[in-house]
Structure 1
């Protein structure tokens, strides 16, 4: 399967000196679902920011390496151009517009693709509400009054509304009850399966991510230390000890 996203030997520094990523290499196949795993501070969010062109807003820069999307070098392409190419980044913390309604938050996605106007929305509401029926019931509610889980659904739904070609989601389960987090990952898996949308998720909850993703990379101290298909990673004893408290896949409840 051809790669939609290819990262080769990527190194990132902050403040001109502090090394955040070193030699990171990974691929996301077209229509694939890949998880980038690791503890807090491992460099996972930095990887997504490098891909989506957000590093410069935080005094970060790519020191070496290349990022290619569908064969095109996008290593230093500005974030607004990447969004128009269909690379959508759901950032950690959800970033919904609290004083705007659910519908207005969704419509804001049209600006990310450089498009605007109600005629372009068409069936996009129905697609989002198909995957996130809770949002249909709250469509006219202000986003600030939604629960944490609903806000995460809205953040992902807004990216979906923009008709992405590559969807990147940073810490989808953060701060959510296990049941809600599992529901969101199940929906991401459904979206991937039905739309064959390429998805890259960053996640600390290794078990949850690997139940949905097809392939995973483990990032530690800015370097990829392990990779493999989801079943293989779940079965590795050292990964289980570090992230799952020693629990094996066949002993989970």
Structure 2
């Protein structure tokens, strides 16, 4: 299967010297669901920021390596152009606009890909509410009054509103009750299967991510230390001992 995204030997530094990634190589197939796994501080969020072009806003830069999207080198491309190519990044912490309604939050995403107009919005609402029914009921509510789970749904829904080709989600389960976190991952898998949308998700909850992803990479201290199909990683003794509690939580 052709790759939607390919990172090759990617190294990232902050402030010119503080190395956050060291030689990271990974790929996301077109229509694939890939999980980038690891503990806090491993470099997972930095990887997504490098892909979406947000590093420069945090004094970070790519020291070496390449980022290719649909065969095109995008390493020097500004973030807004990457978004217009279809790369949408749901950042950690949900980042909704709290004083805006659910509808207003969703429509804000139309600008990410240069799309405007009520006709585009109408076509997309039904799709978002199909995946996230609670948002339909709260569509006129201010986002700041939503629950944590609803805010995460809104953040993902807002990215979907821009009709992405590659959806990247940073810590989808962070701060959510286990039942809600599992629901979010179930919906991401549904979106992946029904739309053929390429998804790269960053996650500390390794067992949860591997239940839904096709393939996974494990990042430690800025380096990929393990990779494989979700099933093989779940059954791998080295990973089980470090992240899955001996394997019991993976089932």
The normalised TM-score by structure 1 is 0.98
Structure 2: distance between partners of 1:25 and 1:174:
25
Contact 2:35 2:213 in 1 (8 A): yes
Contact 1:234 1:248 in 2 (8 A): no
Instruction: Tell me which residue corresponds to 1:21.
Output: 21
How far the C-alpha of 1:249 sits from its partner, in A, is 6.7
Contact 2:42 2:222 in 1 (8 A): yes
Structure 1: distance between partners of 2:193 and 2:117:
29
Instruction: Tell me which residue corresponds to 1:129.
Output: 129
Structure 2: distance between partners of 1:117 and 1:133:
23
How far the C-alpha of 1:248 sits from its partner, in A, is 4.2
Aligned pairs for 1:114-193 within 5 A: 114-193=114-193
Instruction: Tell me which residue corresponds to 1:56.
Output: 56
- Find out whether 1:112 has 2:112 as its counterpart: yes
Aligned pairs for 1:238-249 within 5 A: 238-248=238-248
Residue correspondences, number: 251
* Aligned-partner SS, 1:121: helix
Instruction: Tell me which residue corresponds to 1:11.
Output: 11
Aligned pairs for 1:68-83 within 5 A: 68-83=68-83
* Unaligned segments of structure 2, at least 5 residues: none
How far the C-alpha of 1:244 sits from its partner, in A, is 1.4
Structure 2: distance between partners of 1:95 and 1:120:
23
Structure 1: distance between partners of 2:36 and 2:86:
20
Runs of 4+ in 1 over 3 A off after TM superposition: none
How far the C-alpha of 1:220 sits from its partner, in A, is 0.3
* Aligned-partner SS, 2:31: coil
Structure 2: distance between partners of 1:71 and 1:247:
37
**1:5-51 deviation digits (Å, cap 9, x = unpaired):** 00000000000000000000000000000000000000000000000
How far the C-alpha of 1:114 sits from its partner, in A, is 1.2
Higher alpha-carbon deviation: 111-120 or 211-220: 111-120
Contact 1:216 1:227 in 2 (8 A): yes
Structure 2: distance between partners of 1:234 and 1:211:
8
* Aligned-partner SS, 2:122: coil
* Unaligned segments of structure 1, at least 5 residues: none
Structure 1: distance between partners of 2:180 and 2:243:
20
Structure 2: distance between partners of 1:24 and 1:75:
14
Instruction: Tell me which residue corresponds to 1:206.
Output: 206
Structure 1: distance between partners of 2:50 and 2:77:
10
Contact 1:67 1:75 in 2 (8 A): yes
How far the C-alpha of 1:110 sits from its partner, in A, is 0.3
**1:92-151 deviation digits (Å, cap 9, x = unpaired):** 011100000000000000011112221221320000000000100000000000000000
Instruction: Tell me which residue corresponds to 2:196.
Output: 196
Instruction: Tell me which residue corresponds to 1:90.
Output: 90
* Aligned-partner SS, 2:246: coil
* Aligned-partner SS, 1:216: strand
